[in-house]
Structure 1
Amino acid sequence: MSKYLCIIPARGGSKRIPQKNIKDFLGKPIISYSIKTSISSGLFDEVMVSTEDPEIAEVAKSFGAKVPFLRSVINSDDFSPTVDVLLEVIEQYEKIGKKFDYVCCIYPTAPLISIENLKLGKEKLIVEKRTSIFPVVGFSYPIWRGLRETDEGTVELVWPKYVHTRSQDLEEIYHDAGQWYWCNVTDLKRDKKVFSDNSSVIKLNQSEVQDIDNLTDWEMAKLKYELLKGNK
C-alpha cells in the first residue's frame, strides 16, 4: 500500500513579515491552517513541519503536526530552494526506516487551500501518472499587453503585435498559486525538481489565491478567507 507524506516547510527569520509563519491570522497562527487542513483531509500517513526554528516547531506540534527532526543549517537560509528541503526530509525519514511513495509540500502561509483541491491533486497525480501536480491561477490582466520602461524613461509594449487584439482573443497565461505541490517521490529524487515536462495543474480562481509577501497581502488574505468561509 502506498504511503503519503505531507511536508510543511516553515523556516524562521522572515524579514518582510517578522515571524510570518506563526503570526496570528484571525485568531490562530497562520501555519495552523495548513496543518489542520492537511490532517483533516485524511490524505496523509504523516503530517510534518520542516523547520530550524524551535518556536515554530513547538507551535506546529501543538496543532498536531510532527517535527521528528530540525532542518539543517544549509537548507535554512533565504536562498534554500523548496526541492532541497523536500529531498532532505525524505532522506531523513529513510534514515529512520520510513519510506513514502508520494509527498505533498504545503506552504505554511496558505490558509485558502481546500481539502477538495488537495484530493483532486492526489487523484490527478496517480491516475495520470504525473511527476507532480500543483495549483495555478490566471494573471488578472493579460500579460500580452504588458509594458516595460525604456532606458529613456518612456514605456513601450513588450509585445506590440497584440495592441489591437481583443482581450478575449488573447491566450490565458497562468502562474503558480504558491500553495502546494503533490510529487511522486521516485521522480522527485531522480529529477531533483518540482516542475517537469510531466507536471500538470489544477486551475483556481482569484478568490482562492493570495500571495503573502507584505502586510497588505496579509490583510487581503484575511478578506478572501472570510469570503470563502462565508460562501461555504
Structure 2
Amino acid sequence: MSRTIATILARGGSKGLPGKNVRPFAGKPLIAHSIAQALACPGIDGVYVSTDDEEIARIAREHGATVPYRRPAELATDQAPKIPAIEHLVAHLEGQGEAIDFVVDLQPTSPLRTPADIEAALAQARAGDADLVTTVTEPSHNPYYTLVEVQADGCVALSKPNAAVRRQDVPAVWGLNGSVYVWRRAALARAARDGFWTVRIQPCAMPRERSVDIDDLFDFEFAQWLASRRKEPLS
C-alpha cells in the first residue's frame, strides 16, 4: 500500500539565527510545532526528519518524529539545495521497503501554519493532476506597482512594467511562503534532477498571518507576536 509521508529538513547550522530550529517558540522547540502539525493530519502516515545535527535529531524523536539517519555532510551545507536532500530521504525510506505516493514537505521555520493548511494542500494534490501543490500567500509588495529593479544607469524601473492604474487591472500575484509542499513521488525525483521549475505547480492559498518564514531574529520575534495573538493553540 502506498503511503503519504511528511518530511521535515532541518540543518544544525544557521547563520541568520543560530540554533533556530531548536530555539524555544511558544512553549516548544521551533521544529516541534511542524512535527505536531504533521502528526495531527489524518492524511499523513509518517513524519520523518532529515538533519545533520544530534540535538535536532533528539528533539525530533522526543516529539514523535522518526529520524532514520544522519544527513550526509554534502547535503547539509549552506550551498546544498533542498530538493535533493528530500529525494535522498525518500529514496532511503523506499530502500527500506516503503511505498510512497505523496511527500508533504514542511519547512520547520513556518510554525504558524495549521494542520488544516496541510490537509487543504494535500486534498488539492490528491484531487488534481499537478506535480506539486505549494502554499502561497498574498504578497505585501506587488511587482506591477512597487517592486523595482536597478537598471544599467543606476536608476530603478518596475519589475513588471505595465500601463494599468488599478490593482484590479493586473493579474493576481502570489508569494511562495515555503510552508507546505505536496509532491507527487515521481515529480520529486524529476525536480531533484532537473530543478524546481521543471514541474507543474499549483498554488494553495494561506493567509499572511500564518505565512511567516523565520530566517532571522526579526522574523522570530514577529512570529512570536502573531502566535501570542492567536485564539486557538498553536500546535
Report the TM-score when normalising by structure 1.
0.90
The range that moved more, 58-67 or 186-195, is 186-195
Q: CA separation of 1:5/1:167 partners in 2, compared to 1, >3 Å: closer, same or farther?
A: same
Q: Distance in 1 between matches of 2:197 and 2:161?
A: 30
1:147 — aligned with what?
A: 148
In the alignment, the residues of structure 1 paired with residue 77 and residue 67 of structure 2 have an alpha-carbon distance, to the nearest angstrom, of: 19
* 1:179 counterpart residue number: 179
Structure 1 stretches lacking a partner, 5+ long? none
Alignment of 1:204-223 (within 5 A): 204-223=206-225
Residues 136-174 of structure 1, C-alpha deviations (whole Å, 9 max, x = no match):
112213211233344555444445543x61233232211
Contact 1:137-1:205 at 8 Å conserved across structures: yes
Give the CA deviation at 1:198. 2.6
CA distance in 1, matches of 2:5, 2:202: 20
Q: Quick one: structure 1 residues 219 and 99, their matched pair in 2 at CA, closer, same or farther if it must change by over 3 Å?
A: same
Cα deviation, residue 191, structure 1: 4.3
| Distance change in 2, residues 1:175/1:15 (3 Å) | same
Return closer, same or farther for 1:171/1:64 CA change in 2, 3 Å cut-off.
same
197-206 vs 63-72, which moves further: 197-206
Query: Is the 1:5–1:44 Cα contact (8 Å) retained in structure 2?
Result: yes
- Asked whether the equivalents of residues 148 and 158 of structure 1 are also in contact (C-alpha less than 8 Å), the reply is yes
Equivalent-residue separation in structure 2 for 1:77 and 1:133 (angstroms): 26
User: Which residue does 1:110 correspond to in 2?
Assistant: 110
* Deviation for aligned residue 1:120: 1.4
- Structure 2 unaligned blocks of 5 or more: none
* Between 16-25 and 113-122, the greater mean CA deviation after superposition: 113-122
What CA distance in whole angstroms lies between the structure 2 residues aligned with 1:124 and 1:195?
19
Aligned counterparts of 1:29 and 1:43: Cα–Cα separation in 2: 24
Determine the C-alpha separation between the residues in 1 that align with 2:203 and 2:93. Answer: 28
Q: 1:117 to 1:144 in 2, by over 3 A?
A: same
Equivalent-residue separation in structure 1 for 2:232 and 2:191 (angstroms): 41
The separation in 1 between residues aligned to 2:160 and 2:90, in whole angstroms, is: 43
Aligned length, in residue pairs: 231
